[in-house]
Amino acid sequence: MTELIYARKNPAVIETLLKRRSASAKAMGGDCPPETDIKTMLEAAMRVPDHGKLNPWWFIVFKGDDRAAFGEIIKTAWAAREPQSTPEKLADEAKRLMRAPLVIAVISAPRESTVPVWEQQLSAGAACYNLCLAANALGYGANWLTEWYAFDPAIRASLKLQSTESVAGFIYIGTPEKAPEERPRPAPETLRNDDFRNATNRGNEYAKQGLGYVTHGPDNSVYKSK
Ligand SMILES: Cc1cc2nc3c(=O)[nH]c(=O)nc-3n(C[C@H](O)[C@H](O)[C@H](O)COP(=O)(O)O)c2cc1C
């Protein structure tokens, strides 16, 4: 029988969730986690809510020389986008994955099903987050990034992604070298509604700060390069 772990008080998990931080990929080092830890992280990533038991995700593990090999592909893709790039910029692009000893790409792969694609994509997002939390619980820092190359057609082709598949994230995992600076979080009351008939608390304060709603539909192909 399944252990009723979900109905047991677990203050350590609450503390983890309330204090969770990403580690910066720019300040990550250490050795690559051992295979046992990688397996545990992937097992946690695959234990996410998944409507219809579709497993609408798969994973690519980058470690060792593969990070530099994929970096060369990133560099070539960047050079095609920005032919005027300096050699220094190209060298930086080639080193993207070298920032951490382990990078795991989570690929959203919606299956043919009555379950909406959107729900399947959300499951891939949950897989990314479980991967981060599992990495943290095993003593590593994690950083969920997409950056420009997650969306680039040449990069997508190099990973042989189908048109319906997307990179949900490159999860950079390693030993954090410094603590991140605190970052403001919303006060729960600014986004909480207790009256469904009049749910006006929609982050209006944030809209005033320039965080308006998008006026167009989501378009995953649009992402500013940096
Ligand atoms: C789907 C997704 C993609 C992201 N891509 C990037 C990225 O390309 N660059 C970046 O600086 N942060 C990115 N982030 C944000 C970081 O993962 C992280 O949340 C942020 O640096 C704030 O740190 P925190 O998680 O400790 O609040 C992304 C987050 C998500 C959910």
Specify the CATH number for 19-176; select among 2.40.50.1070, 3.10.20.30, 3.40.109.10, 3.40.50.300.
3.40.109.10
Q: How far does residue 4's CA lie from ligand 1's centre (Å)?
A: 33
Dihedral angle of Cα 148, 150, 153, 157, to the nearest 10 degrees: 150
Domain ranges of the chain: 19-176
Q: Whose CA is nearest to atom 19 of ligand 1?
A: 22
- Residue 48 backbone dihedrals phi, psi, to 5 degrees: -90, 160
Query: Which residue from 179, 152, 181, 182 is spatially nearest to 167, judged by alpha carbons?
Result: 152
Question: Token digits for 163?
Answer: 């048109």
| Residue 21 CA, closest ligand 1 atom number | 26
Secondary structure (DSSP) of 32-87: PPPHHHHHHHHHHHTTS--TTS---EEEEEEETHHHHHHHHHHHHHHHHH-TT--H
Task: Report the pLDDT value the prediction gives residue 224, as an integer from 0 to 100.
Answer: 46
Q: Residues enclosing ligand 1, CB less than 6 A?
A: 21-22, 143-147, 169, 180, 183
Q: How far does residue 44's CA lie from ligand 1's centre (Å)?
A: 20
Task: Report the pLDDT value the prediction gives residue 4, as an integer from 0 to 100.
Answer: 72
Pairwise CA distance, residues 125 & 119, whole Å: 10
Query: Which residue from 70, 67, 71, 42 is spatially nearest to 57, judged by alpha carbons?
Result: 42
Task: Report the pLDDT value the prediction gives residue 180, as an integer from 0 to 100.
Answer: 87
DSSP state of 113: S
Mutation probe of ligand 1 site: the residue of 132, 136, 144, 151 with most atoms within 8 A of C-beta: 144
**pLDDT in 10s for each residue of the chain, 226 residues:** 566 777 889 999 999 999 999 999 998 999 999 999 999 999 999 999 999 999 999 999 999 999 999 999 999 999 999 999 999 999 999 999 999 999 999 999 999 999 999 999 999 999 999 999 999 999 999 999 999 999 999 999 999 999 999 999 999 999 999 888 889 899 999 899 999 999 988 887 776 676 666 666 555 554 444 4
Question: Token digits for 122?
Answer: 């959300």
Query: Which residue from 183, 134, 177 is spatially nearest to 23, judged by alpha carbons?
Result: 177
Q: Whose CA is nearest to atom 12 of ligand 1?
A: 145
Task: Report the pLDDT value the prediction gives residue 208, as an integer from 0 to 100.
Answer: 67
Q: How far does residue 22's CA lie from ligand 1's centre (Å)?
A: 8
Residues 6+ apart with CB under 8 A from 211: 203
Mutation probe of ligand 1 site: the residue of 146, 148, 170, 182 with most atoms within 8 A of C-beta: 146
